[in-house]
Structure 1
Amino acid sequence: MEKRWISLFVENDIGVLAKISGLFAGKAYNLESLTVGMTEDETVSRMTIRLKSDDETFEQIKKQLNRCVEVIKVIDFTNSPIHMKELLFVKIRKCSKGDMEELYRIAEVFGVSIIDYDPESVLMECVQTESKNNDLINLLSSDFKTIEVVRGGSVAIESISKTEW
Structure 2
Amino acid sequence: MEKENFTISVYTENNIGLLNRISAIFLKRHINLDSMTASQSEIKDVFRFTIAVKVTEEQVKKIVGQIEKQIEVIKAFYHKEEQIIYQETALFKVASKLLFEERQIQNVIKNSNSNIVTVTPEFFVLEKTGRRREVDALYRKLEPYGLMQFTRSGRIAVTKEKMHISKILENFAPEELL
8 Å Cα contact 1:85-1:156 kept in structure 2: yes
Q: 2:15 aligns with which of 9, 13, 16?
A: 13
More helix as a share of residues: 2
Pair 1:105 & 2:107 matched: yes
Residue number in structure 2 paired with 1:156? 157
Most deviating of 149-158 and 27-36: 27-36
| 1:61 counterpart = 2:63 | yes
- Mapped to 2, the partners of 1:30 and 1:128 lie a distance apart of 22
Structure number with greater Rg is 2
Tell me, which stretches of 5 or more residues in structure 2 are unaligned?
163-178
SS at match of 1:69: coil
TM-score of the pair, normalised by structure 1: 0.84
**Letter matched to residue 150 of structure 1:** T
Q: What is the SS of the residue equivalent to 2:43?
A: coil
> Residues 9 and 50 of structure 2 are in contact (CA less than 8 Å); yes or no, is this contact kept in structure 1?
yes
In the TM superposition, what is the alpha-carbon distance from 1:88 to its structure 2 partner?
A: 0.3
Structure 2 distance, partners of 1:66, 1:118, is 47
Matched, 1:130 2:129: no
- 2:52 is matched with which residue? 50
Equivalent position SS for 1:125? strand
Deviation digits for residues 31-69 of structure 1 (CA, Å, limit 9, x no counterpart): 110000011333211111011212332222122112222
In structure 1, the partner of 2:145 is 144
Conserved 8 A contact 1:87-1:152: yes
- Of 114, 117, 132, the residue aligned with 2:116 is 114
In 1: Cα distance, 2:117 partner to 2:81 partner: 35
Change (3 A) 1:82 1:89: same
Which amino acid letter does the alignment assign opposite residue 113 of structure 2?
G
| Inter-CA distance 136–65: structure 2 relative to 1 (3 Å threshold) | same
User: What SS does the aligned partner of 1:77 have?
Assistant: strand
Q: TM-score scaled by structure 2?
A: 0.79
Structure 1: tracts of 5 or more residues without a match? none
- Tell me which protein shows more strand as a share of its residues: 1
Distance in structure 2 (CA, Å) of the matches to 1:36 and 1:26: 21
1:37 to 20, 36, 39: 39
Contact 2:68 2:75 in 1 (8 A): yes
